[in-house]
Amino acid sequence: MPNRISRRKFLGAASTVAVSSLPWNASGESAFASATDQPPASSAATDRMVDMHVHFDEANPNFISDLLKVCNSLNLTACVLTHFPSRNIVAEAARQHPREIVPFGYVDLDAHDAVQQVEEFHALGYRGLGELEFVKKPFNDPSYLPVYELANRYAWIVLFHTGIVLRAKFNEPEDVASGRMRPIHLEEIARRFPKITVLGAHCGNPEYEWAAEIARWNPNVFFDLSGSTLTKMRGRLADFRKLFWWSGSDWGTDTPSGDDSAYVKIVFGSDVKVGEIEGVVQQYRAMFDACDVPAKTRQMIMGGTLARMLNLPG
Ligand SMILES: [Zn+2]
């Protein structure tokens, strides 16, 4: 039908009108609008990687200096996921090294003062929350909404653990369940709070199909492939084609920079000790090769998408 407007064109037109529903970056502009409207950054800037998933290690007194060395050698910016007691150390490190360190705050969603902790993270210059995990109720439980409302007001990125979670104590009871952290719960959060960029860690392991479909339909949802996902799938990396299947079609949602590759819904996250980050970079690249991910999409996955959302210095 020659006069039928394609769904992608329709979504593009609609997003121009409904721009206030899109995630907004730190400078107050839509992250996706800026990705579309701004001229491309220099190649040096676009080659910079952004790792969404670096846990601050309280047990390592040299963590910041160790991380800075890796950032310099890999040309990497790290989103450092920080527990509340370490908030000042990481805030100060981020002030001193804004090109290398972006502070993200971990809150226990079941804590009675979770909202106050989020407010304090914000006052210290934190850029988002994560990794939210070990919840006592499903992620979409109404008791957690005040934290999400605040994150929505701040237009923050929120990194959620999704899927199977470690068992810390094999012989003692613990109130932990992977089923509370299923990727399907992120859909409701993304739709109720459109200014939050909802980022799911581990791509829902093993519910990859649900994770990919939720990312497909929601412009504010992305996943990283950290954890055991790339390791356990190392012999069948081409299977990611079956999950991220809609490239070049009208069946995906609005994306950063208008990229119609399904893989642009993935971002780089390592979730390993700083000395092991480079190995995860290699694992991502092996997946790109196995799935013929286009060069411009690889750049967005490895750093471009997060750099634009966070308005990072070039
Ligand atoms: Zn996790």
How confident is the model over 166-182, as pLDDT tens digits? 998 899 999 999 999 99
37 CA distance to ligand 1 centroid (A)?
33
**Which range among 7-21, 44-58, 145-159, 208-222 shows the weakest confidence by mean pLDDT?**
7-21
3-class DSSP state of 24 = strand
To the nearest 10°, report the CA torsion of 36, 40, 45, 47: 80
How many whole angstroms from 248 Cα to the centroid of ligand 1? 31
Ligand 1 geometric centre to CA of 109 (Å): 15
Q: How far is the CA of 53 from the centre of ligand 1 (A)?
A: 9
pLDDT score, position 46:
66
Ligand 1 centroid to Cα of residue 222, in Å, is 14
**Residue 150 and residue 115 in contact, taking contact as beta carbons nearer than 8 Å:** yes
Residue 191, Cβ density class (10 Å: 0-12 exposed, 13-18 middle, ≥19 buried): middle
Distance 143 CA to ligand 1 centre (A): 21
**Residue 207 DSSP code:** -
pLDDT greater than 70 at residue 165: yes
Is residue 31 classed as helix, strand or coil in its secondary structure?
Answer: helix
Q: How far is the CA of 168 from the centre of ligand 1 (A)?
A: 13
Gap from CA of 211 to ligand 1 centroid (Å): 14
State which H helix or E strand residue 196 sits in.
none
What pLDDT does residue 256 have? 87
**pLDDT at position 249 over 90:** yes
Q: What is the structure's pLDDT at 313?
A: 79
Mean pLDDT (whole number) for 17-40:
40
> Average pLDDT, stretch 88-111?
98
* Cα–ligand 1 centroid distance for 161 (angstroms): 4
Confidence of residue 136 (pLDDT cuts 50, 70, 90): very high
**Which pLDDT band holds residue 14 (cuts at 50, 70, 90)?**
very low
DSSP 108-141: -TTSTTHHHHHHHHHHTT--EEEEE---SS-TT-
CA of 21 to the centre of ligand 1 (A): 28
Distance 98 CA to ligand 1 centre (A): 25
Is-cis flag, bond preceding 131, omega within 30? yes
Q: What are phi and psi of 7, to 5 degrees?
A: -65, -35
- In the structure encoding, which two tokens stand for residue 110, read together? 């079941």
Question: Which range is least confidently modeled, 32-41, 47-56, 74-83, 104-113?
Answer: 32-41
The predicted-structure confidence for 278-310, as pLDDT tens digits, reads as follows 999 999 999 999 999 999 999 999 999 999 999
Average pLDDT, the chain: 89
Residue 298 near residue 43, CB atoms below 8 Å: no
- Cα(164) to ligand 1 centroid in Å equals 8
State in Å: Cα 201 to ligand 1 middle.
6
Q: If you measure from the C-alpha of residue 179 to the centroid of ligand 1, how many angstroms do you get, rounded to a whole number?
A: 13
| Residue-wise pLDDT tens digits, 103-116 | 999 999 999 999 99
Residues 6+ apart with CB under 8 A from 55: 80, 81, 131, 271
Taking residues 63-77, report their average pLDDT: 98
Alpha-carbon gap, residue 21 to 244, rounded angstroms = 25
| pLDDT over 60 (residue 43) | no
